[in-house]
């Protein structure tokens, strides 16, 4: 797919390809909008739970080590649960990011094809160019991103944000723990 659009296909093939791209993009956009509407708040709850769980497990591990509790089985269990949560979250985030990136790549391909189109000389070529521009306009203006209830986009940048949030909260927890041990 998309090889005719930038290649030397005839006008009918290019027109069919533009319609196919538009149809697939509109379908993908509808799926993304449905996901955001149905699962946006679930995603927000999941990431909130992840941050709280991660802080709790790290705090538990630190408490076990600092209080002299060296039951290695419990420490390993807590570490494995924490790693499992990180892995599941990362897989979900990566999948959402790949969907958005694929739609961006399709848009970039359409821009590239528009730039590579020869100057339209016939009315059919002008119509194809107009159709391609309309497709690009639809793709560029349509928000095709997965989000957690529109609070934030679900993409690979969220991993860094989650780690920084957990680190900041863990510092606060450690400070409270140290203060309670000193008293």
Q: What SS3 state is found at 165?
A: helix
Model pLDDT for residues 126-170, shown as the tens digit of each residue:
888 888 888 888 888 876 788 888 888 888 888 888 778 777 877
Whole-number Å distance between alpha carbons of 132 and 111: 9
Q: What is the largest CA-CA distance in the chain?
A: 86
Are 180 and 173 in contact, with CB atoms under 8 Å apart? no
Domain ranges (residues) in the chain: 3-182
The pLDDT of residue 7 is 55
Alpha helix positions (H), the chain = 3-6, 11-66, 72-116, 123-141, 157-182
Per-residue pLDDT band at 1 (split at 50, 70, 90): very low
Exposed e or buried b per residue across 117-156, where buried means at least 16 C-beta atoms within 10 angstroms of its C-beta: beeeeeeeeeebbeebeebeeebeebebbbbbeeeeebbe
Q: What is the gyration radius of the CA atoms in the chain, in angstroms?
A: 25
Model pLDDT for residues 95-124, shown as the tens digit of each residue:
888 888 888 888 888 888 888 777 777 888
Cα distances (angstroms) measured from residue 127 to each of 3, 20, 50, 135:
19, 16, 51, 12
State pTM to two decimals: 0.68
Model pLDDT for residues 49-73, shown as the tens digit of each residue:
887 887 787 777 777 777 776 677 7
Q: Where does residue 68 fall: left (phi above 0), alpha (psi -120 to 50 degrees), or beta otherwise?
A: left
The pLDDT of residue 9 is 58
């Amino acid at each position: 797919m998309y090889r005719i659009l930038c290649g030397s296909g005839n006008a009918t093939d290019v027109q069919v390809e533009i319609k196919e791209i538009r149809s697939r993009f509109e379908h993908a956009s509808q799926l993304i909008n449905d996901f955001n509407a149905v699962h946006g708040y679930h995603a927000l709850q999941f990431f909130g739970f992840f941050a709280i769980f991660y802080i709790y497990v790290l705090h538990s591990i630190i408490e076990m080590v600092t209080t002299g509790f060296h039951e290695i089985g419990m420490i390993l269990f807590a570490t494995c649960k924490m790693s499992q949560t990180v892995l599941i979250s990362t897989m979900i985030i990566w999948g959402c990011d790949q969907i958005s990136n694929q739609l961006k790549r399709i848009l970039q391909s359409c821009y590239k094809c528009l730039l590579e189109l020869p100057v339209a000389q016939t009315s059919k070529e002008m119509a194809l160019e107009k159709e391609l521009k309309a497709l690009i306009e639809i793709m560029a203006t349509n928000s095709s991103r997965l989000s957690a209830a529109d609070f934030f986009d679900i993409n690979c940048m969220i991993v860094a944000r989650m780690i920084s949030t957990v680190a900041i909260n863990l510092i606060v927890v450690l400070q409270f723990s140290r203060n309670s041990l000193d008293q």
